[in-house]
Amino acid sequence: MITHKPRVALLAASLLLTGCGGGDAATPDSRPTATRPAAATPLPDVALEVAPQQLPGLGPKTWAKVPAEARQAVVVTGRGRNSSQSTVVLYERSDIGWEAGASWPAHNALRGWTDHHRAGDLRSPVGVFTLTDAGGLLRDPGTRLPYDHGVGFTATGTGFEGEPLAGSFDYVIAINYNRRPGTSPLDWTRPLGAGRGGGIWLHVDHDGPTQGCVSIAREHMRELLRALDPDRHPVVVMGDAKSLAR
């Protein structure tokens, strides 16, 4: 667990804003019929479930961005380019391929998705990003990620549909878009510059669109935090379905 001194409380609110072989020719069998071996009983057709070798729904361009060492992938699939509703699935990679976990409903930004996120555009960035750091207003629920616990994760005010934002940052996972990995989600460093936005998190859902983050139910955030393992190099793959299929 990492510990940080409380940072400016206003930051929390601004972050939300922002294969057959052949054989020889057969020779007729001359033995008496009674001595011939009985024909083998055909085996029933059985459909074998084989895990896919790449993440479902991803086209070559997106798949090429998934690091070879990644063994966990949180796939966020938006309903449409301009939709604020999406689905989250955690995939785990084993020796036989990628295996899917449960599917969870989620929200993303009010105006949907973008390939070039800008501060205040009310769209979530499309892309593949690493996940290295977590935190929240509530104590660490048992994650293996570094966890920053403090009042800097206090959320106040109301969302786009009048829903209260309180509790939204009880648990968060920083998405490494325009931030410095290995630091608290509250870190202000913006390598691409402030104009490209930042503070893009996975956090607790408040029953409405976000300003750029991805949100899922509280119990799902707790489950995700406990599942992610830095030794498995987790990433998030996020965007509308059409963009991910490129």
Residue 16 is assigned to a structural domain of this protein: no
Residue 141 is assigned to a structural domain of this protein: yes
Q: What is the pTM of this model?
A: 0.81
| Interacting residues of 1 by C-beta distance below 8 A, sequence separation 6+ | 140, 146, 147, 149
pLDDT for the residue 9: 39
Alpha-carbon span 213 to 196, nearest angstrom: 14
| Interacting residues of 166 by C-beta distance below 8 A, sequence separation 6+ | 155, 156
pLDDT digits (tens, 9 = 90+) for 9-32: 333 444 434 433 333 333 333 334
Sheet holding 214-216, edge to edge: 127-130, 235-240, 72-78, 85-94, 97-107, 214-216, 201-204, 172-174, 133-136, 147-149
Residue 22 is assigned to a structural domain of this protein: no
Residue 173 is assigned to a structural domain of this protein: yes
Residue 17 is assigned to a structural domain of this protein: no
Residue 124 is assigned to a structural domain of this protein: yes
Residue 15 is assigned to a structural domain of this protein: no
Q: Which domain holds residue 64?
A: 52-244
Calculate mean pLDDT across residues 122-138.
98
Residue 85 is assigned to a structural domain of this protein: yes
Contact 197, 212 (CB under 8 A): yes
Query: Residue length, the chain?
Result: 246
CATH code of residue 120: 2.40.440.10
What's the pLDDT band for 52 if we cut at 50, 70, 90? confident
Number of domains comprising the chain:
1
pLDDT for the residue 223: 98
